[in-house]
C-alpha cells in the first residue's frame, strides 16, 4: 500500500472508481447534515468547491439555484463526474478560485479542506467570491481522526490501495480562519457515523457501520460549518 499521497495525485488515481454519490458511512453522515442546510439556502448562484465527481451539483440545483458551478483541481475527477446538465464543471484551485469577487450567493465545500494546510487562505478566498450576506457550508474530517490515527484510503480500478494524507485542523482553527475572513459562524454540527446509517444500502445493519461502532463506539467523524459573509 502506498501511503500519504499528495491530494492532486491521489484524486487523479481515484477518479476512475470514485462514485458520484456518498459512497461510505462518513460521507453519508456528512451529507445528512449538509443537504438540509443547502436546501434552506435559497441561493441564486451556487458554487461547489472540491466538487470531485459532482455529487453535490444536482443537490444544489434542486435548491432552485439558477447558476450552479463545480470546481476541482483534478482534471481526471472533472472528466469522470456527473453529467454537465447538473451544473458547469471547471478545473481550478480552491486557493485561487477563477471567479470574480462576489460571484456567488452560496458556497459548498464537502471535506475539501482536509487537503488544505492554510485554512486562513482558504477562508479568505471563499469570502472573496461570496456576495455580502452570502452563505458558506463546508465540512472537514473531525479532529477525532487525528486523535485516533484514522486513515483515509481508496482502491484503484486495479485493486491497489492508497492512502491520502489529511491536513489536521482543530475546530478552533476553523473559527479563527472564518473570523479573519469576515465570515460569521451560524452553526457548527458534528455528525456521528450513525447519522448517515439510514442512507446506506444496509441501513443501520450496514456491516461497515457495525464494525466501526464495535471498535470505536460512535464518536463524531465530521465537522460541518455554516457561516455567513458579514455586510
Quote the pLDDT of residue 123: 98
Per residue in 3-37, pLDDT (tens digit) is 467 888 889 988 888 888 898 999 999 999 999 99
CATH superfamily of 2-229: Vaccinia Virus protein VP39 (3.40.50.150)
Higher pLDDT, 88 or 183: 183
Domain locations in the chain as residue ranges: 2-229
Per residue in 178-226, pLDDT (tens digit) is 999 999 999 999 999 988 765 544 455 688 888 899 999 999 999 999 9
Quote the pLDDT of residue 1: 38
Q: How far is CA 13 from CA 116, 118, 128, in A?
A: 19, 24, 31
Quote the pLDDT of residue 148: 95
DSSP single-letter state for residue 192: B
Quote the pLDDT of residue 2: 40
Quote the pLDDT of residue 111: 97
Quote the pLDDT of residue 101: 98
Three-state secondary structure call for residue 93: strand
Query: Bridge-partner residues for 45, per DSSP?
Result: 67
Quote the pLDDT of residue 171: 98
Quote the pLDDT of residue 82: 59
Calculate Rg over the CA atoms of the chain: 17
Amino acid at each position: 500500500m502506498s501511503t500519504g499521497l499528495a491530494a492532486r495525485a491521489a484524486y487523479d488515481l481515484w477518479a476512475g472508481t470514485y462514485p458520484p454519490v456518498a459512497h461510505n458511512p462518513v460521507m453519508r453522515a456528512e451529507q445528512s447534515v449538509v443537504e438540509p442546510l443547502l436546501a434552506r439556502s435559497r441561493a441564486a448562484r451556487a458554487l461547489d468547491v472540491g466538487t470531485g465527481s459532482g455529487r453535490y451539483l444536482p443537490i444544489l440545483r434542486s435548491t432552485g439555484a439558477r447558476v450552479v458551478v463545480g470546481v476541482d483541481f483534478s482534471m481526471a475527477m472533472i472528466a469522470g463526474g456527473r453529467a454537465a446538465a447538473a451544473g458547469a464543471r471547471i478545473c481550478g484551485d480552491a486557493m485561487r478560485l477563477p471567479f470574480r469577487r462576489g460571484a456567488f450567493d452560496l458556497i459548498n465545500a464537502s471535506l475539501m479542506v482536509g487537503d488544505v494546510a492554510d485554512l486562513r487562505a482558504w477562508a479568505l478566498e471563499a469570502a472573496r467570491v461570496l456576495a455580502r450576506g452570502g452563505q458558506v457550508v463546508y465540512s472537514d474530517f473531525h479532529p477525532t481522526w487525528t486523535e485516533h490515527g484514522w486513515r483515509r484510503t481508496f482502491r484503484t480500478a486495479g485493486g491497489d490501495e492508497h492512502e491520502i494524507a489529511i491536513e489536521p485542523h482543530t475546530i478552533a482553527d476553523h473559527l479563527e480562519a472564518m473570523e479573519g475572513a469576515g465570515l460569521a459562524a451560524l452553526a457548527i454540527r458534528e455528525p456521528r457515523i450513525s447519522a448517515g446509517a439510514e442512507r446506506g444500502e444496509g441501513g443501520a445493519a450496514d456491516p461497515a457501520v457495525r464494525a466501526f461502532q464495535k471498535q470505536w463506539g460512535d464518536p463524531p467523524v465530521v465537522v460541518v460549518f455554516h457561516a455567513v459573509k458579514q455586510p
